[in-house]
């Protein structure tokens, strides 16, 4: 059973939030603000926050830049996961995932199903690792952002969460780069 280990110290991590939208600004970006508020309330650091249009190259460019920035541990995107012509966030990011996180999508849809029923199939929420940085791709609604944070990310981004969490494996995400071309040493 999942627990919070009181003997472990909380480790704040640095999280960047990217809103993908052709119409939002920082002033009216409710989904991005929902995530920023929850990040701060949990004791983490909002490393950066930005908005880009529904453009594959701009989305990929921003996430790649953050994934190479040592002041960013995790990237969360919101928006562009539906099925309309402008919804391209999964197409922008899944090709650059070094490792895909199928379980994130599955658990997100389970939580979402309990709240909105079969409408959850209209989201292509996904997650993966890019340059040893966790990347989570969420729908563009504040409710979906709350569900993902409250139901998954808050616990998995807390070092005290047991039996395991993402924070404790962050230092090992780039092990493949340290091994070199000859394989494990």
> How far apart are the C-alpha atoms of 174 and 172, rounded to whole Å?
5
Asked whether residue 183 is domain-assigned, the answer is no
Asked whether residue 133 is domain-assigned, the answer is yes
Extract the tokens encoding 7: 């003997």
Range of the domain at 60: 13-173
- Residue 133 has a CB neighbour count (10 Å cut-off) of 23
Asked whether residue 180 is domain-assigned, the answer is no
> How far apart are the C-alpha atoms of 23 and 36, rounded to whole Å?
19
Give the global pTM.
0.93
- CATH assignment at residue 67: 3.40.980.10
Bin 79: left if φ > 0, else alpha if -120 < ψ < 50, else beta. left
pLDDT by residue for the chain (185 residues), tens digit each?
A: 788 888 899 999 999 999 999 999 999 999 999 999 999 999 999 999 999 999 999 999 999 999 999 999 999 999 999 999 999 999 999 999 999 999 999 999 999 999 999 999 999 999 999 999 999 999 999 999 999 999 999 999 999 999 999 999 999 998 876 645 443 33
Asked whether residue 138 is domain-assigned, the answer is yes
Answer for the pair 4, 163: CB distance below 8 angstroms, yes or no: no
């Amino acid at each position: 059973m999942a627990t919070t280990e009181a003997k472990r110290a909380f480790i704040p991590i640095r999280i960047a939030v990217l809103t993908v939208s052709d119409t939002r600004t920082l002033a009216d970006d409710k989904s991005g603000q929902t995530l920023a508020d929850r990040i701060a309330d949990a004791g983490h650091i909002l490393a950066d926050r930005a908005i880009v249009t529904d453009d594959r190259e701009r989305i990929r460019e921003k996430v790649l830049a953050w994934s190479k920035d040592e002041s960013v541990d995790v990237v969360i995107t919101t928006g562009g996961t539906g099925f309309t012509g402008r919804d391209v966030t999964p197409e922008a990011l899944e090709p650059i995932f070094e490792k895909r996180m199928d379980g994130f999508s599955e658990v997100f849809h389970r939580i979402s199903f309990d709240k909105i029923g079969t409408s959850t199939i209209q989201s292509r929420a996904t997650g993966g690792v890019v340059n040893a940085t966790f990347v989570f791709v969420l729908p563009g609604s504040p409710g979906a952002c709350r569900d993902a944070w409250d139901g998954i990310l808050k616990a998995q981004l807390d070092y005290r969460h047991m039996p395991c969490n993402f924070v404790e494996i962050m230092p090992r995400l780039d092990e493949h780069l340290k091994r070199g071309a000859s394989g494990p040493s």
